[in-house]
A and B are shown apart, each in its own frame.
Chain A
Amino acid sequence: MSDEKHLNQAALSDLKDIMEDDFSLLVTTFIDDSILRLSDLTNAVNNGDADLLRETAHSFKGSSGNICAPILESLCNELESMGDGNQLEGVPVYLAKVQQEFTCVKSALESLIGK
């Protein structure tokens, strides 16, 4: 899979400029937070907790936007909307998509910081 789809390269280059030496800290922080959020999302689905689903997806959406991951951002937006409408039937499918997309974003980001 090409990184170009998972990460917005133009925006990412601005982000590197802003963060300078702290760019790798930003990336690892994002990855660590995201792992926690994925686990929260899984719990929310298992427990049918729409509020937790909505709030976690909302935060995840915001952070994904900031890290220049547009596909992940829009998938999280879908999840947030589902939680908001309390329609949890289609959630597991989307959750799987989110997990898959995160894996791609994560490896793309890690390659950027030389991991």
Chain B
Amino acid sequence: MDTVEPLKILIADDSNSDRLLLKAIVQNQGHEVVVAADGLETIEVYTREKPDIILLDALMPRMDGFEAAERIKAMSGEDFIPIIFLTSLKEADSLALCLEAGGDDFLTKPYNSVILKAKINAFNRMLKMHHTLQQQRDQIIVNNEHLIQEQEVAKRVFDKVAHAGCLHVKNINYSLSPLAVFNGDVLLAAVKPSGKIAVLLGDFTGHGLAAAIGAMPLAQTFYSMNAKGFGMKEILQEINSKLKDILPVGVFCCAGMMDLDLREKTVEVWNGGLPDCFLYRQSDLSYEVLPSCHLPLGVLSPKDFSCETQMLEMLDGDSLFMWSDGIIEATNPAGEMFGEQRLKTVFEEHRSAETLFKELEGRVNSFIGGSQRDDDLSVVEVVMVDKEEFEVENVLSNHKSYQGPMDWGMSYDVRPDTLREFNPLPVLLQILMDIPGLRSHSGEIYTVMSELYSNALDHGVLDLDSSMKSSTKGFAEYYQLRSKRLGELQEGYIRITMDYRGDDSNGLLTVTVQDSGKGFDISMQTDNDYKLDGYSGRGLPLLKSICNSVEYKGGGNEVEVKFQWSYNDSRKLA
């Protein structure tokens, strides 16, 4: 007797001798046997014993094998119960009946034990496969439910992060799948305190949660910095370095960003890795192509990253289109892609800016026709509109009202123990950055403040001679001496005085830094800036290039700079 995995086999036959024989054959092969002598009993035994395989005679009293088979197959649901019909039927019609009733195979009389063994083994293998399949399917269902649940949570979080947006305003048209974030597509729009409209379309590499994860910090940075009035360049810098920090190599974000200035009728554009953006001119129905000039966000380190933007004039009614590559790669049932040429044709053939977006959507949708609609078809159109009209329509005037502290002054003294251990610049910058008008100049303000402070400390309080730094040896000595003097510092101070006056369209910041050093003869200062003690090298020219005025006072230990901003950025007019 072969060693086999024992199965429970139901033998249903009304012929006592045949049943006896079959039972002996099956038992000899190592299986457990349960028996039934008619159709009704077959069903009873099946229900009670849950056999693995049924050997079923076709013609039986009370209920024949066909009906019994049908009932059992119906009762077994998605479980697989192989039914082998026992028959000496020879007509094709009768055999067909067995199959229709749900039979899986036949065994003809007289019985042949070798053939029966082969069949039982074959069905045993099928049973195992079916079982494995069911388990794996159930596992897949569980996994899938889990995945969907996770995505729902992630989407809820993302929607919260992204809710601050103003995508609903009338001059923004867009097409974005509700689950676009899982295709890595992100569309954000915000109105800045200045009234400019900032829009960012991002397309992360990859799909699913991996693609969505970067969208959170992207959206958060975009909204918080826009709300504080930061300029596009600062925001791009910040997003790039944040993404570079957190995303694994190979994951990055192709993005296009624009700042739409309704007052000046200009748009500032940056395109890093998105397909060419189109600027559609209503006046002559032409369009301008704005290609990607940069690498995507999250690729380059902050020092290599370029946030160089392009400034373009835009008249009311002109519109700027940005899209992810989904539109170009939209595929029709024949496998053809929509492509850039078709995109251009839509723009070339179209005669009205107002219906262009709908027209474009329609063309792409009719192109992909019956084929599965791509979920990552993200398109945004931003139309230049009248500023007053925009504000009335969107009730956004309250965004403009917060101008931060507008008329104030303060003085901050830093004394030896603090000079040694503490850098007061972040605190002071934070105070200055509360003024929305200054935020878009945060980089310049930082340069001015740090230049003033380090000069006051090094050349004022610590009385170091900057000319030491002109040789490599001197450079090292300079810093040794600096560290020594700072450590031994017993008295001295730096007094920083800030004064600000402004409104919603311009403002003047005056910063005076006075130190306890010995100063210098200020009558020299107009003769040759470069020879001035304290501001050798680039110091003074740098300050002068940023500030509207730089002036030494008193005994040369006090410097006053004025920094004026106005809405249109041309501070130097003052």
The 5 closest A-B pairs by CB, nearest first: A65-B110, A30-B17, A62-B109, A62-B88, A29-B17
CB-CB under 8 A from B113, the residues of chain A are: 14, 18
**Size band of the interface chain B makes with A:** 10 to 19
Whether the pair A66, B59 counts as a contact (CB closer than 8 A) is no
Within 8 Å of chain B (Cβ to Cβ): is A112? no
In the assembled complex, the Cα of A55 lies from the Cα of B58 at a distance in Å of 11
Interface-centre pick from A11, A15, A63 (highest chain B CB count, 10 A): A63
Whether the pair B16, A66 counts as a contact (CB closer than 8 A) is no
Which residues 80-111 in A have Cβ within 8 Å of B in the complex? none
Within 8 Å of chain B (Cβ to Cβ): is A25? yes
Which residues 323-338 in B have Cβ within 8 Å of A in the complex? none
CB-CB under 8 A from A26, the residues of chain B are: 17, 20-21, 24
Distance to closest chain A CB from B2 (angstroms):
14
Whether the pair A63, B14 counts as a contact (CB closer than 8 A) is no
In the assembled complex, the Cα of A73 lies from the Cα of B89 at a distance in Å of 13
Whether the pair B110, A22 counts as a contact (CB closer than 8 A) is no
In the assembled complex, the Cα of A55 lies from the Cα of B17 at a distance in Å of 16
For B81-122 the 0/1 string (1 means CB < 8 A from A) is 000000011000000000000000000011101000000000
Closest A residue to B86 by beta carbon equals: A62
Q: List 20 other contacts, CB 8 Å, given A29-B16, A66-B111, A67-B17.
A: A11-B110, A14-B113, A15-B21, A18-B24, A19-B20, A19-B24, A20-B24, A26-B17, A26-B21, A26-B24, A29-B20, A30-B17, A59-B14, A59-B59, A61-B109, A62-B15, A62-B18, A63-B109, A66-B18, A66-B109
Distance to closest chain A CB from B61 (angstroms):
9
Whether the pair A33, B28 counts as a contact (CB closer than 8 A) is no
For A15-56 the 0/1 string (1 means CB < 8 A from B) is 100111010011001101100000000000000000000010
In the assembled complex, the Cα of A58 lies from the Cα of B87 at a distance in Å of 9
Pick the contact of A63 from B18, B24, B28 — CB < 8 Å?
B18
- Chain A: residues with CB nearer than 8 A to chain B? 11, 14-15, 18-20, 22, 25-26, 29-30, 32-33, 55, 58-59, 61-63, 65-68, 73
Distance to closest chain B CB from A56 (angstroms):
10
In the assembled complex, the Cα of A59 lies from the Cα of B88 at a distance in Å of 9
CB-CB under 8 A from A19, the residues of chain B are: 20-21, 24
Whether the pair A18, B88 counts as a contact (CB closer than 8 A) is no
In the assembled complex, the Cα of A18 lies from the Cα of B112 at a distance in Å of 11
In the assembled complex, the Cα of A58 lies from the Cα of B109 at a distance in Å of 11
State whether A22 and B15 are in contact (beta carbons under 8 Å apart), knowing that A65-B88, A66-B109, A66-B111 are contacts in the complex: no
Within 8 Å of chain A (Cβ to Cβ): is B25? yes
CB-CB under 8 A from A22, the residues of chain B are: 20, 24
In the assembled complex, the Cα of A25 lies from the Cα of B19 at a distance in Å of 12
CB-CB under 8 A from B15, the residues of chain A are: 33, 59, 62-63
Could you list some 26 contacts between A and B, CB below 8 A?
A: A14-B113, A18-B24, A18-B25, A18-B28, A19-B20, A19-B21, A25-B20, A26-B20, A26-B21, A29-B20, A33-B15, A58-B59, A61-B109, A62-B15, A62-B88, A62-B109, A62-B110, A63-B15, A63-B17, A63-B18, A63-B109, A65-B109, A65-B110, A66-B17, A66-B109, A66-B110
